[in-house]
Chains A and B, each alone.
Chain A
Amino acid sequence: MSRNKVLAITAAVIFLGAVIWCAVILLKPKSNIVNITQDGTLLYSLDLSREKDRTFTVEYKDRKNTIEIKDGRIRMLEAECPDHICVDTGWLEDVPIVCLPNRLVIDHADKTDTDAQTR
């Protein structure tokens, strides 16, 4: 093979690579990143579109919060706190799930259509 052909083929391969790469970026399934923070510290950053169904616990001053991931959704399953507001919030939608007594917050990493919610 001549040097020129090698050059041309290399160029073509790079070009194709660029096209495929572009397609991959544009067609990538929408990720759904959720951050779990405690007292301002990020504990977990999870992509719900990739997470397996599971439950796990987070502790705060000997009190436990149990978080459930199921079918690409997330919620506070149980909480050792007096008010259970976080459990009552249900699956994460627009409103962040907040457990005030245990300083725990589950929220979308990047918010969608609206900028905030008044409640």
Chain B
Amino acid sequence: MDRKSAVFTARLITYIVLIIMLIAQTSCGKDEKNNDVKKSDESFFAMDTYITVTAYGENSDEAVKAAENKITALEKLWSVTDQNSEVYAANHNGTAGLSDDTAELVRFALDMCDTTDGALDISLYPVLTAWGFTTDEHHVPTDAELAALLENVGYDRITLDGNTLTVPDGVQIDLGAVGKGYAGDLAVQELKANGITSALLDLGGNIQTIGTKPDGSTWKIGVRSPYGDGSFATVSVKDKAVITSGGYERYFEENGEVYWHILDPKTGKPAHSGLLSVTVIGDEGRLCDSLSTSLFVMGIDRAEQLWKERMDFDFIAVSEKGDIYITEGIKNDFELSESYKGLNVSVIK
């Protein structure tokens, strides 16, 4: 080999090596398909829970900030304990002029109380307080205590005239069962107004999504198992809210008995309809939020009936016997997790 060709070979090898290194650098490691889409996320405490907003796209920083600001502003209006909130004013002065967002929420909540035939009742707050679920100083009220408190429970006594809310003496409202869902809806609006077409909001386990993931695939949402920390199933969704109510969320034990925070407005006691958890999937957070609580109270038969009447949502329910019920609409998007494959799933049609 003469000197010239040897130099040439060496150079050639060097170039090849350089090219290989370049390729190695860009292809080594796990492929992240969405590397080119900007992602922003923000986590914060509001509405008595831990919230994470994740959005994708050019304007995602501003959009996420706007969504966070919206949620914290709504918390100030809807808090039961904040003396400057609109709900506090209504509870303590008997009447209050509401902002448009609050009025819309109350209107919707009252409508859902009606739709669910009182399985949802926004005037249950004094009973919830008696059980200590609002302060974490738990206590089992006597039947006499509950009977006295239930005298002042009844959503039909609350009137909303335009933006004026009237709450009779002794009655107290709390928008907790619907508020987080509606806050999610308004945060979604805020994100969309900022040009976001792909986002995921986690409001303490209330999941709301915009569009699909940036790569076009659906969002995979784990559904919390009532028996432990893991997920017993996954639902794949786009542009949907997925909201769960379960007895495991907040409860206490006394003398071997478990008392959970979802109360039956008829008895004032923890609801025992035969269900351990209900997950509702639909377009709006406020609908899913209010239904997850009320279907839990209603039990599987009445839940099925309401689903057939409305058909604008789907649900997944876990019974005390360990059976799973899912409605037809999400049949193809529902999958049991590996360790729960043995569970019996019935599809409601």
A interface with B by C-beta (< 8 Å): 2, 4, 7-8, 10-12, 14-15, 18, 21-22, 25-26, 37, 39-40, 82-83, 85, 89-91, 93-96, 98, 100, 103, 105, 113-119
Q: Is B95 an interface residue (CB 8 A)?
A: no
The answer to whether B43 and A37 have CB atoms under 8 Å apart is: yes
The answer to whether B136 and A82 have CB atoms under 8 Å apart is: yes
A8 to B43, CA, bound (A): 54
Proximity bits, B38-60, A CB within 8 Å = 1, else 0 = 00000111001110000000000
The answer to whether A118 and B206 have CB atoms under 8 Å apart is: yes
Q: A118-B207, A118-B243 are in contact. Are A100 and B222 (CB under 8 A)?
A: no
A99 to B94, CA, bound (A): 35
Q: Return chain B residues, CB-CB under 8 Å to A90.
A: 229
Q: Return chain B residues, CB-CB under 8 Å to A93.
A: 229-230
- Main SS of chain A's interface residues? mixed
The answer to whether A100 and B50 have CB atoms under 8 Å apart is: yes
**How many positions in chain B have a CB within 8 Å of any CB in the partner chain?**
46
B7, B43, B200, most chain A CB atoms within 10 A: B43
Please tell me which one of the listed residues A15, A26, A37, A119 contacts residue B249 in the complex, with CB atoms under 8 A apart: A119
The answer to whether B230 and A25 have CB atoms under 8 Å apart is: no
Q: A8-B13, A82-B136, A95-B224 are in contact. Are A116 and B29 (CB under 8 A)?
A: no
Binds A, one of B20-28, B99-107, B320-328, B341-349: B20-28
Q: Return chain A residues, CB-CB under 8 Å to B244.
A: 118-119
Q: Return chain A residues, CB-CB under 8 Å to B220.
A: 113-115
A85 to B205, CA, bound (A): 14
Pairs across A and B, CB under 8 Å, 27 listed: A4-B6, A4-B10, A7-B11, A11-B10, A11-B13, A11-B14, A14-B21, A15-B13, A39-B45, A82-B136, A82-B137, A93-B230, A94-B224, A94-B229, A94-B230, A100-B48, A103-B45, A113-B220, A116-B207, A117-B205, A117-B207, A117-B221, A117-B224, A118-B222, A118-B223, A118-B224, A119-B224
